[in-house]
Structure 1
């Protein structure tokens, strides 16, 4: 076999594989995702009542008002302003448990929670590994019920019902712990108040 024929065969094989793996396969996955799971394939975006995208069910965001449930603290400094386009890098602080900066941040967080009459729980004090976790534990949500009910003048039992509705169970019924999606819970609170 001549070298020209071998080169021709190699180029055709490369182009065929490129066509299959760089065009056909990604397009097939895109179509399957859009048909089978469009909400998830498009980023699990959540809209407010006006239809404006306000976040994703998969990415946490800060809530500073006493009217809302607090999320986990985060080492990620991502913008919530629509005018600022940021990528929001994911990751932990990588500070050692003996690091004075970490100890100071945790002490500030505990003090802030205690001033707000919230019993500090691990997930309200420590950041998650990704820094983007949208969930808090059921215990962390329960610790905030009195404060939110008082500020909003809502019966705590109504808030308990919203917590139950916005709690995601264990993955495949076995892995992990149940978690409350903070963004969805806070949106449900706003919807409850607007319906009154």
Structure 2
């Protein structure tokens, strides 16, 4: 008789906990997100001409010389594959990783021949998620000459655009200044029109 009593209690606890953690909690979190952070909860989609062009929080690959380039992505199948968010499994001391970095550096140098300054590290290395939508302010400034040359937009206008899109450090001390590449490139396209 005692065993049946234990099974009944355990089954009741299982049903209650399933209702709380599997139904009530997800509904409460979803409702909270929809009310207080609706834009973020729905993917922070960026629209241009009433058409979705991307998300503020998921990077995209830009390779055109008249655009700002994002960080490299190490996701599988194709760059910025949000279904395969991961960093690279290559060790920083391995020959494969060294070869990849050298190829990236050579490519950046070949497409920015007038630059004699160091290439910012985030233009060469992938982020941990492989989906980072931002580059450092330093990386954005590094690309001004190339973007200006191929877009036929003055460096001053491009610099002002970068300043407009620069997200400052939190409280002036935490993190680093960064620029969302998709938003920057969309506004750059508007200057071309």
Contact 1:45 1:53 in 2 (8 A): yes
TM-score (norm 1): 0.85
Contact 1:46 1:53 in 2 (8 A): yes
Equivalent position SS for 2:83: coil
Q: Deviations over 1:65-105 (max 9, x none)?
A: 1111011112114558xxxxx65312222322332222222
Computed over aligned residues only, the root mean square deviation of the Cα atoms, in angstroms, reads: 2.1
Closer/same/farther in 2, CA of residues 107 and 27 from structure 1, 3 Å limit: same
Equivalent position SS for 1:46: strand
Deviation at 1:184, TM superposition (A): 0.9
Number of matched residues?
188
Match of 1:22 in 2: 22
Structure 2 unpaired stretches of 5+: none
Match of 1:178 in 2: 177
Match of 2:86 in 1: 91
Give the whole-Å Cα distance in 2 for the aligned partners of 1:135 and 1:178.
10
Deviation at 1:183, TM superposition (A): 0.8
Give the whole-Å Cα distance in 2 for the aligned partners of 1:54 and 1:149.
23
TM-score (norm 2): 0.86
Match of 1:83 in 2: none
Deviation at 1:170, TM superposition (A): 2.5
For residue 105 of structure 2, the aligned residue among 102, 106, 110 is: 110
Structure 1 unpaired stretches of 5+: 81-85
